[in-house]
């Protein structure tokens, strides 16, 4: 047998300011080293109960079925369409970025009749557009919108869309992957029927879990399905038997124990900080970043008045090399940011300030590093303008 060759595992430390994942708190890292337990262990069930309680707090919901799906955020999307759509159902889906397009792709794979609500990448989908399309269709099963479009930095308003969905008897589905734990989100108060997220962004847990919640209105539609949910792994009626203690838990899959520990600790940290305080922290740091970038003469891409604080898109100046700047940020400063996706590839940078990564220090370090690299790219700006503007913004009450 030939001799095996492999490296010693020593990944470098990075400041994660891209579109995800974010850096994790030392307590979350430590939680992953706790003793491994079986997924049917009585103590493990108490951890699961805590996670559901903490997720209800985070989603701001009383929904009984509120739990993390044992897979990445994309599984939350997949579970939504697999369970609540059948072949021939009409789904109206907002598309103003890459992840709206991915929703469409999912719905089509389950045989839905998809009606796209298209908007320019970087702008919201206006309520009147939603209303016109919903009224033009006889029976809409589901309206789906991305709350925080990770590819564009746009924060989509939801309350009016929810009301419009209710008026036509449609379920309202929301992608909250880049908003849960960082932006204002109120599942019950806003009338959201189905909502999913990812563990690795504003929650600041490693990637691998998809927080998910569905209300009773949504779950009642499962009883009227004409065929089984096409995915065994993502069938909510089966997952509920594992997660909910009603009548005793039933084995469904081998749960990732160490990831559940990490999520438990990440959610505990959020509860300790306070949800409103956490949202205000993200708003404060996002505003400082926006002020700094604009003071450097750069143009924010997303629609004014609807910009995320958790994920900022900024236009790349002409004659500045996108990839070279991102590589130098990584190699010289240990800072990761993201490039554009889809239609915005090569046109924007995506800068995340999510969860544990959303700090004053990171805002100022990033602006200082970016200024140095832009000057060396031949971009003209006032020395220190970005850091100065961000610092002034941070001093505001």
Q: pLDDT for 272-308, tens place per residue?
A: 999 999 999 999 999 999 999 999 999 999 999 999 9
pLDDT at 246 over 90: no
Confidence check: pLDDT of 369 > 70: yes
The domains found in the chain, sorted by start residue, are 26-271 (3.40.640.10), 275-395 (3.90.1150.10)
Whether residue 247 is predicted with pLDDT greater than 70 in this model: the reply is: no
- Residue 94, SS3? strand
pLDDT of residue 30: 98
What is the tens place of the pLDDT at every residue in 118-150?
999 999 999 999 999 999 998 999 999 999 999
Per the DSSP assignment, residues forming a β-bridge with 173 are: 144, 194
d(CA 147, CA 281) in angstroms, rounded, equals 19
Q: What is the mean pLDDT of the chain?
A: 97
**Residues in Cβ contact with 234 at an 8 Å cutoff, skipping those fewer than 6 apart:** 69, 75, 78, 79, 82, 83
Residues facing 154 on adjacent strands = 149, 307
Query: For residues 156 and 127, is the Cβ–Cβ distance under 8 A?
Result: no
Residue 397 confidence (pLDDT): 62
Percent of the chain with pLDDT over 70: 99
114 pLDDT above the threshold of 80: yes
- Does the pLDDT of residue 245 top 90, yes or no? no
Question: Residues 293-331, buried b or exposed e (16+ Cβ, 10 A)?
Answer: bebbebebbbbeebbbbbbbbbbbbeebebeebbebbbe
- Report pLDDT for 2: 77
Using the predicted structure, report yes or no on whether residue 108 has a pLDDT greater than 70. Answer: yes
Average pLDDT over residues 368-382: 97
The average pLDDT across 142-169 equals 98
- The pLDDT of 99-122, averaged and rounded, is 97
Asked if residue 89 has a cis previous peptide bond (ω within 30° of 0), the answer is no
- Give the mean model confidence (pLDDT) for residues 359-375: 98
């Amino acid at each position: 047998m030939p001799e095996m060759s492999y490296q010693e595992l020593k990944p470098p430390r990075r400041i994660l300011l891209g579109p995800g994942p974010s850096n994790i708190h030392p307590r979350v890292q430590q939680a992953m080293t706790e003793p491994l337990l079986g997924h049917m262990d009585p103590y493990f069930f108490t951890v699961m109960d805590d996670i559901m309680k903490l997720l209800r707090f985070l989603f701001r919901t009383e929904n009984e079925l509120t739990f993390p799906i044992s897979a990445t955020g994309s599984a939350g999307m997949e579970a939504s369409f697999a369970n609540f759509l059948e072949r021939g159902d009409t789904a109206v889906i907002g598309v103003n970025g890459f992840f709206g397009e991915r929703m469409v792709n999912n719905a089509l794979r389950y045989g839905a009749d998809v009606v796209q609500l298209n908007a320019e990448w970087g702008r919201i989908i206006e309520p009147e557009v939603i209303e016109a399309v919903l009224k033009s269709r006889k029976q809409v099963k589901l309206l789906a919108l991305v709350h925080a479009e990770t590819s564009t930095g746009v924060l989509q308003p939801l309350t009016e869309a929810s009301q419009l969905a209710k008026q036509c008897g449609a379920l309202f589905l929301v992608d909250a992957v880049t908003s849960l734990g960082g932006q204002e989100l109120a599942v019950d108060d806003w009338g959201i029927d189905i909502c999913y997220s990812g563990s690795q962004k504003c929650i600041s847990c490693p990637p691998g879990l998809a927080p998910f919640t569905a209300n009773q209105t949504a779950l009642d539609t499962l009883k009227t399905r004409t065929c089984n949910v096409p995915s065994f792994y993502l069938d909510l009626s089966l997952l509920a038997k594992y997660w909910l203690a009603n009548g005793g838990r039933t084995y469904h899959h081998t749960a990732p124990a160490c990831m559940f520990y990490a999520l438990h600790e990440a959610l505990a940290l959020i509860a300790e900080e306070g949800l409103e305080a956490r949202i205000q922290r993200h708003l404060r740091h996002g505003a400082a970043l926006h002020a700094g970038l604009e003071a450097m003469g750069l143009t924010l891409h997303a629609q004014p008045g609807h910009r995320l604080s958790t994920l900022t898109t900024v236009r790349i100046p002409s004659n500045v090399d996108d990839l070279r700047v991102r590589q130098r940020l990584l190699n010289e400063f240990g800072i990761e940011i993201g490039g554009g996706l889809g239609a915005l590839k090569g046109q924007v940078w995506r800068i995340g300030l999510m969860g544990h990564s959303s700090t004053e220090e990171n805002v100022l370090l990033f602006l200082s590093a970016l200024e140095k690299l832009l000057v060396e790219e031949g971009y003209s700006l006032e020395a220190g303008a970005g850091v100065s503007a961000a610092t002034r913004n941070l001093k505001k009450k």
